[in-house]
Amino acid sequence: MDFARLAEQNPWWREPGAVERDFHVRAFASSPVRWEPREAGAFSFDADTIYTLRGPRQVGKTTLLKLLIPGSSARAGARNASATSPAI
């Protein structure tokens, strides 16, 4: 696996705010139709779990995942910070 290419395709790994510049995320935010995917609440990132997200083409699967990135990045950062903080 080419991790450099994987990191290039996921710029929010280096800069969490980069997801806000994504074409699909911007289109979702500027859409006149307000839609909140109910599946967004179905994911729990606190456990070691593997999810599969399936569905027809062009229904928003990737956009849903990109919308979840800011919250999951913040939680991962908090976990990593607490894991590396010295014990008191």
> Under DSSP, is residue 23 helix (H, G, I), strand (E, B) or coil?
helix
Q: Domain count of the chain?
A: 1
Q: What is the pLDDT of residues 8-55, one digit of tens each?
A: 888 888 887 888 888 888 988 898 988 787 787 788 878 788 888 899
Backbone angles phi and psi of 50, in degrees to 5? -110, 125
In a domain, 73, yes or no: yes
| Cα separation, 9 vs 18, whole angstroms | 11
Q: What is the pTM of this model?
A: 0.64
Q: Which domain holds residue 18?
A: 3-38+49-84
